[in-house]
Structure 1
């Protein structure tokens, strides 16, 4: 009797296969591909950690030509490679002053990394989480916050209208807005992005994507309308309100039970033409600037997408006089008693 011995062939990781198929299909990518040993050399064996998130960790590095970079090391086998593919596919198509530049990537076995230009002033979130000490420590006043708001809107307009394909970000929030040495903002983190035709007015996505507190109502429930570029506008509006409101979109009095949801508070103030009286407001010019940003933010967070302005209209409103802006309807979901969404750093 002859015995037949079969050797088991090692199965290829389906995630790596999927990524390699994508990279082969898009062989003409402008970004450099690094080996993992090169990534270790660039980051000096991951010595300088900049931050950490659900995706993995970010380290500071330096290229051979002397440029500083931020290297995002993605968690191994965390998903089917979709986040990595989304990031490389979407951001490699972009070139704009308000979009962070992807300089390279690594896909070496199970090791995945993304190499970005380094932004020395970190994220917008770190600045607005300084308990309103923005001016003292960072020379940031409302004029600078307005400058940042304009820059982010221009970056979004480019993603929605300036590319050959429309790119929806789906995770606009202060944490994903990076600031260079002159506090110019750049949109980053395209892991949840969706690439679609410029002619598409609605987008098909499976499940909700984004960060709690910034997700448009229609993204987690189609009863509110279709998912589209207006979903990014909603996230942008929540971010603007957080920028002018401080650390959280709530205002707390002496009594903890008197906590007020900030969009409600600022809407009531604007509607009744009361002074806003926010911290760090120095003069009437600041008052007008904040009032304008608040009105635009409230337009952006309208419950139904059809009522929200497109991002190009948002830019137009931000660059016009506050006296010319109409007060929007009160957003239905703005009350904490009825809203399932509140600002937080908890990622779905």
Structure 2
């Protein structure tokens, strides 16, 4: 089997030691395994700057989207209405979730390269007083834009609305003061900035809010409240958990701490991103977003010319050891390069050398 480095927003390149944790089989009922679950929950609260008296961490089987749907399904009742703020495909996916569940909602959408407008949102909240929840994606991996979480936080506080933040691609790589921002539910996944492998998502929830959610869920398996109550007893998941993934994630959390925590990981990702943008600009690849809107998570690049063939480019780069990501925009031809995972400056420099070689070959 060939081994590639994934320059994607997750799944991503993991360390050998994280992979090795999956070589041992574990029993879901065993106390040693339940201790791992409780350790993870405690460490997640520490990363969020949240106390166990005010917040809890709930782990949910499945991909990140499962965790998002669990929150939407379990915390927004038939009497409530959500304001869903979107500027990318993952915000649009939350709208699809709301439609599937049958939730009342108002979608406020802006262009994929634009921030939500504060005054427009304020006017919506004034004109739609029945809105009870505000939902937004923090880092939209459609483009890599980092949305203004502080502005949305201030509006939710001003209007007394429940705040749900999809921090799938940012938590663990960008510092988020969950209590300070007044986030009621923050959602992320094992295979993003904490650098575990796919298999479960997690929700950092304000206990006071979660207590009011009993009986809201329209689903058995996606009932966040019931999952929390069972997990809070002794660390037991309600249904079969991805034991290998959980063990790997526990190791990934330890490695995040060893690296220097979120500030150190953010610095590494940001350096990766800076090198990537600067070097590719020199060979004709224009970044879709201006630097001030760019997250250090993933970067979207426009095709350098009308005759650029991404599939050929992708194959060339993959043969040299790196896997890129296709674009997700519908109105422009783009591709994406992730900066997260077990990826360092030397990897980005090597990738840029490969791309420069490709451009030289194509021009000939």
Q: TM-score range by the shorter chain?
A: under 0.3
TM-score with structure 1 length normalisation?
0.26
| Greater radius of gyration (CA) | 1
Higher relative contact order (CA 8 A, sep 6+): 2
Bigger fraction of residues in helix: 2
